[in-house]
């Protein structure tokens, strides 16, 4: 079975699990800031926890925070759990990013922040975003914080500018399905040292040091990932996931998209062992992104256009967290490829304003809704995706 994604883990990450790693979190912060052109970076246990911490630390309460309707639901949870309200914006049909014209129309006197997500690795127009923030601030007289959500888009560029290097803050996340992993974990990056220091102090006051047991469990978790994603075993992993409920505890409980909640350890700091894995991954990230770009371009040329399939665009500066195609009948396509030992991803299967707990907000986002029903994504993490294109050719 070809997995829908596979973390790029090698010997060095394995070795990092068995070292002491003292001080690794501080070093990961430093190296991460350097790699992504920030003046400083502050590590957190999850991306969502980092976002939550930011809103709290800068004192946002009862504010409206603008975000895309089609993104990871935990972003909306971070807004809600920090005592603020998400305002959902529909996306653009061609790159899945938030429609910036709708953002302009939605800014009002309650707007205090905008989260701009570079969805599936497609860079959002940063120049336009900055202009929107400036005009909104001038019109309503409030500071509007600009957070770039780079969780899908490590290293993407807009007009040659690295994303995440403008606005007030950028957020990254590192679970095993992200472009690089630190087991779990999240990071905020800053261009302003004072703001970074404020967040670091705020975190140090509130976030507890994790215990030994957790650091052992996290090591075991990553070891199980090595095993589960082994080519010879992945068929069984897939079966356990799809046909039995044995793995639900690991694969589903972490997400729980239907409920506004955070994992119980969201107020514990990133572990040194996680940062140590992250440091190794950071050295690989250029080659990880190169593989994704190469495969996206290969699909673009060689994946046969089937009737009523909508293909994604190849875009300058994109880093392709997912290669997303829209198909009329998702279940049927996923089953068809599963029979050929190819797992397709089904991300993101929801439009956030349709999730329980957010429905009362009554914001209709038709493009996000349609996308949530029809998107599948093709594996990008293999060295060679020609087999997948060949399998697609054989189907009638
Ligand atoms: C993964 C992700 C997050 C949050 O990351 P966690 O570490 O899972 O909390 C936020 N935004 C986007 C777009 C993501 O993909």
Give the pLDDT of residue 257.
56
Ranges of each domain in the chain: 11-206
Whether 254 has a pLDDT exceeding 70, the answer reads no
CB atoms under 10 Å from CB of 390, counted, come to: 12
Distance 150 CA to ligand 1 centre (A): 9
Q: How far is CA 244 from CA 121, 220, 236, 240, 343, in A?
A: 32, 22, 11, 5, 16
pLDDT, tens digit, 9 for 90 and up, residues 116-157: 999 999 999 999 999 999 999 999 999 999 999 999 999 999
Q: Ligand 1 atom 5: the closest Cα is on which residue? A: 47
**Which residues form ligand 1's pocket by a CB distance below 6 Å?**
46-48, 71-72, 74-75, 117, 149, 151-152, 173, 175, 186
> For residue 63, which of 140, 134, 124 has the smallest C-alpha distance?
140
Distance 175 CA to ligand 1 centre (A): 8
Res. 86 pLDDT band, cuts 50 70 90? very high
Distance 13 CA to ligand 1 centre (A): 22
Give the nearest ligand 1 atom to 117 CA. Answer: 13
Distance 151 CA to ligand 1 centre (A): 6
Q: What is the mean pLDDT of residues 363-370?
A: 92
Q: Report residue 168: phi and psi, to 5°.
A: -90, -30
What is the C-alpha to C-alpha distance for residues 294 and 288, in angstroms, rounded to an integer?
10
Distance 178 CA to ligand 1 centre (A): 8
Whether 80 has a pLDDT exceeding 60, the answer reads yes
Give the pLDDT of residue 177.
95
Res. 362 pLDDT band, cuts 50 70 90? low
How large a percentage of the chain has pLDDT more than 70?
Answer: 95
Which of 69, 97, 122, 151, when mutated, tests ligand 1's pocket best, judged by the most ligand atoms within 8 Å of its CB?
151
> For residue 169, which of 206, 144, 141 has the smallest C-alpha distance?
144
Give the nearest ligand 1 atom to 175 CA. Answer: 7
Give the nearest ligand 1 atom to 254 CA. Answer: 8
Res. 315 pLDDT band, cuts 50 70 90? very high
**Can you tell me which residue has the tokens 């653009």?**
92
The pTM (predicted TM-score) of the whole model is 0.96
Whether 255 has a pLDDT exceeding 80, the answer reads no
> For residue 113, which of 72, 169, 47 has the smallest C-alpha distance?
169
CB atoms under 10 Å from CB of 56, counted, come to: 18
Distance 72 CA to ligand 1 centre (A): 6
Pairing of strands 64-68, 111-117: parallel
Q: Does domain 11-206 have CATH number 3.10.20.740?
A: no
Give the nearest ligand 1 atom to 78 CA. Answer: 9
The mean pLDDT value of the chain amounts to 94
CB atoms under 10 Å from CB of 270, counted, come to: 29
Distance 148 CA to ligand 1 centre (A): 12
Q: What is the mean pLDDT of residues 312-328?
A: 96
Residues 6+ apart with CB under 8 A from 352: 69, 70, 71, 73, 76, 86, 88, 358, 368
Res. 249 pLDDT band, cuts 50 70 90? low
How large a percentage of the chain has pLDDT more than 90?
Answer: 88
Angle at 345 (CA atoms; ends 344, 348), nearest 5 degrees: 150
């Amino acid at each position: 079975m070809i997995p829908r994604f596979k973390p790029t883990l090698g010997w060095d990450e394995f070795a990092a699990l068995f070292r002491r790693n003292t001080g690794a979190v501080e070093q990961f912060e430093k190296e991460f800031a350097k790699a992504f052109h920030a003046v400083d970076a502050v590590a957190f246990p999850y991306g969502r926890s980092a976002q939550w911490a930011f809103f709290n630390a800068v004192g946002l309460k009862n504010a409206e925070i603008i975000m895309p309707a089609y993104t990871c639901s935990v972003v909306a949870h971070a807004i809600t759990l920090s005592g603020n309200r998400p305002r959902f914006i529909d996306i653009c049909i061609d790159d899945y990013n938030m429609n910036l014209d709708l953002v302009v129309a939605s800014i009002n006197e309650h707007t205090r922040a905008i989260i701009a997500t570079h969805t599936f690795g497609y860079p959002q127009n940063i120049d336009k975003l900055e202009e929107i923030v400036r005009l909104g601030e001038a019109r309503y007289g409030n500071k509007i914080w600009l957070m770039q959500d780079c969780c899908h888009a490590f290293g993407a560029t807009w007009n040659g500018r690295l994303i995440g290097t403008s606005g007030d803050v950028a957020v990254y996340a590192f679970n095993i399905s992200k472009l690089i992993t630190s087991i779990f974990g999240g990071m905020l990056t800053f261009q302003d040292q004072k703001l970074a220091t404020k967040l670091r102090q705020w975190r140090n006051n509130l976030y507890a040091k994790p215990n030994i047991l957790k650091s052992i469990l996290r090591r075991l978790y990553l070891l199980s990932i090595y095993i589960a994603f082994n080519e010879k075993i992945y068929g069984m992993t897939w079966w356990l996931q799809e046909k039995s409920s044995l793995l639900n505890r690991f694969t589903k409980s972490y997400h729980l998209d239907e409920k506004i909640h955070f994992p119980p350890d969201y107020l514990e700091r990133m572990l040194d062992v996680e940062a140590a894995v992250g440091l190794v991954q950071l050295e690989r990230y250029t080659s990880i992104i190169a593989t994704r770009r190469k495969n996206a371009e290969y699909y673009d040329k060689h994946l046969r256009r089937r009737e009523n399939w909508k293909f994604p665009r190849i875009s300058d500066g994109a880093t392709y967290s997912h290669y997303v195609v829209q198909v009329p009948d998702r279940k049927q396509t996923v089953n068809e490829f599963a029979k050929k030992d190819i797992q397709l991803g089904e991300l993101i299967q929801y439009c956030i304003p349709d999730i329980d707990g957010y429905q009362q907000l009554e914001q209709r986002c038709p493009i996000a809704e349609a996308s949530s029903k029809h998107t599948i994504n093709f594996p990008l993490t293999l060295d060679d995706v020609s087999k997948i294109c060949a399998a697609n050719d054989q189907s009638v």
